[in-house]
Amino acid sequence: MERGLPHGEGFLLCLLLHLLLQGRGNTFAINCSGFEQRGVDPAAFQAVFDRKAFLPVTNYSNPVRVNISFTLSAILEVNVQLQVMTSFLWLTMRWYNQFIRWNPEECGGIMKLSIATENLWLPDIFIKELITVDQAPTGLMAYVSSEGSVQYNKPMKVVSICSLDIFYFPFDEQNCTFTFNSFIYTVENMVLGMQMKVQDISNISRTLIQSKGQWLLLGIYQSTKKTIVGTNQYDQLVFHVAVRRRPKLYIINLLVPSSFLVAIDALSFYLPAESGIRAPFKMTLLLGYNVFLLMMNDLLPDTGTPLINVYFTICLSLMVLSLLETIFITYMLNLATTKPPPIPPWLHSLLLHCTSPMKCCPTAPQKGNKDLGLTPAHLPGLKEPVEFVQKVPGPQEGTIGCPVSARICPEDVAQKQHFVSLWIQFSRMMDTLLFRLYLLFMATSIITVIVLWNT
């Protein structure tokens, strides 16, 4: 008696619990007796399959909560012209189907079953930014647990519209948005939740994207907001996918060669202007640069005006400007040596002022010679400044000519040589000045571009 009462109480409790459990899941409990011997009986699930057209809830006041997570496994393409990002992701959805419930103990311990998704109600989750229809493979399966939770994974190739800004190309970062949303269910029927934390999604995606492609995943961030369309409120999950371009290809193929060509262009100012090889050299460089731009055009974005185009334009204008400068200096030198016009007084005083540390004008070419490193080829007698000063009065050195009168010739020749030397000095000064201006312009523009790239 003493031992029987507790036993009876336990039995009663067990019965009560059983009845309660039965009562809770009674209507939709799946009779799975015999599953372990004869396999799953389709008839047992027929009631569930028949209801697949309807929300899997028993009380329509409670919405279905669909938990979402995804892993981004590849960034296939970012198309600037179409403003489209193509990526590949695995979408995982999890929700409770209240019509599915069984007792694993009666079913030989079966905790979960895989069921073809065409027999089940599926949430109509889509990504708002999609611009192609979802091409998920058909015939996918979903895992259903004895509690009624359904897990459904599907691969998605996401071609999504994304506002791309290529101003900072090739150092650009893009920020594309994925908005997960239901087609028709309002918040009264469906709410969306997170299956895992967004940091985990970001971490897993980062480790999953092993490809050394052009784009580096910086991270995935979330911002939640509900949308209201008309009088209906829809739940949605908003993710921002931040990616950065790997710029190495563009640095090696575009920026470095371009900088080399501009550097050579700047260095070519040290070629003597008098020798006449500077202009052809610069011309060749300019041609080479144009060919380079034509060849590398495919690497540049098709639309928009990225900063790199400005950079190329600056490089090209620098080359054109330096060519123009060379033409100008060559013209001046030519003018000076063939028929030097009289020096205007202001220019004379300017030249004197500029060369004031040196006492007299003819020594000025020394500075020029030192600067340019080479002697003018077509100016006999200008090999050495001292030599020049000494040799000027020599009648045999007046090769520029004094055909008519030998008597007035020496003064004439001296006068002319003086003009020539002053003009040459002036040309060299102009050359040096313009070269410095060129360097200044080059430095400021390139520093500006680099500063803009770094912001």
Ligand X SMILES: *[C@@H]1O[C@H](CO)[C@@H](O)[C@H](O)[C@H]1NC(C)=O
Could you tell me what percentage of the chain is helix, strand and coil, using 3-state DSSP and rounding each to the nearest 5? 45, 20, 35
Q: Is position 45 an interface residue for ligand X (rule: CB under 6 A)?
A: no
- Answer for which of 129, 134, 200, 384 binds ligand X (CB under 6 A) is 200
Degrees (nearest 5) of the Cα angle 340, 341, 342? 115
Query: Considering beta carbons, is residue 172 or 325 the nearer one to ligand X?
Result: 172
Q: Is position 34 an interface residue for ligand X (rule: CB under 6 A)?
A: yes
Instruction: Using alpha carbons, select from 346, 384, 68, 10 the residue that is nearest to residue 198.
Output: 68
- Answer for which of 46, 132, 199, 415 binds ligand X (CB under 6 A) is 199
- Answer for which of 149, 189, 214, 222 binds ligand X (CB under 6 A) is 149
The token pair that represents 333 in the structure block: 């030198």
- Answer for which of 26, 27, 46, 62 binds ligand X (CB under 6 A) is 62
- Answer for which of 25, 40, 49, 67 binds ligand X (CB under 6 A) is 67
Q: Is position 455 an interface residue for ligand X (rule: CB under 6 A)?
A: no
Minimum CB–partner distance for residue 446 and ligand X (Å): 28
Minimum CB–partner distance for residue 321 and ligand X (Å): 39
Find out whether 143 and 68 touch, Cβ atoms under 8 Å.
no
Please state whether the peptide bond connecting residue 123 to the residue before it is cis, i.e. omega within 30 degrees of 0: no
Q: Is position 275 an interface residue for ligand X (rule: CB under 6 A)?
A: no
Find out whether 192 and 237 touch, Cβ atoms under 8 Å.
yes
Q: DSSP letters along 178-208, please?
A: EEEEESS--TTTEEEEESS-HHHHHHHHHHH
73-102 positions binding ligand X, by CB under 6 A: 94-96
Query: Considering beta carbons, is residue 197 or 339 the nearer one to ligand X?
Result: 197
Minimum CB–partner distance for residue 111 and ligand X (Å): 15
Query: Considering beta carbons, is residue 96 or 453 the nearer one to ligand X?
Result: 96
Query: Considering beta carbons, is residue 67 or 355 the nearer one to ligand X?
Result: 67
Continuous segment of H or E residues that includes residue 237 = strand 236-245
Choose the binding region for ligand X from 26-34, 80-88, 227-235, 309-317 (rule: CB under 6 A).
26-34
Cβ neighbours around 71 below 10 Å, total: 22
Q: Is position 224 an interface residue for ligand X (rule: CB under 6 A)?
A: no
The token pair that represents 452 in the structure block: 């803009």
Choose the binding region for ligand X from 198-206, 225-233, 277-285, 353-361 (rule: CB under 6 A).
198-206
Residue at 305: amino acid letter: T
The token pair that represents 67 in the structure block: 């938990």
Q: Is position 234 an interface residue for ligand X (rule: CB under 6 A)?
A: no
Continuous segment of H or E residues that includes residue 19 = helix 4-25
**Distance between alpha carbon 135 and the CA centroid of its chain, in Å?**
28
Residues 6 or more apart whose CB falls under 8 angstroms from that of 218 comprise: 173, 242, 243, 244
Q: DSSP letters along 209-227, please?
A: -----SEEEEEEEEEE--E
Q: Is position 448 an interface residue for ligand X (rule: CB under 6 A)?
A: no
Query: Considering beta carbons, is residue 5 or 43 the nearer one to ligand X?
Result: 43
Using CB under 6 A, list all residues that contact ligand X: 31, 33-34, 59, 61-62, 65, 67, 94-96, 149, 175, 193, 197, 199-200, 203, 221, 223, 240, 242
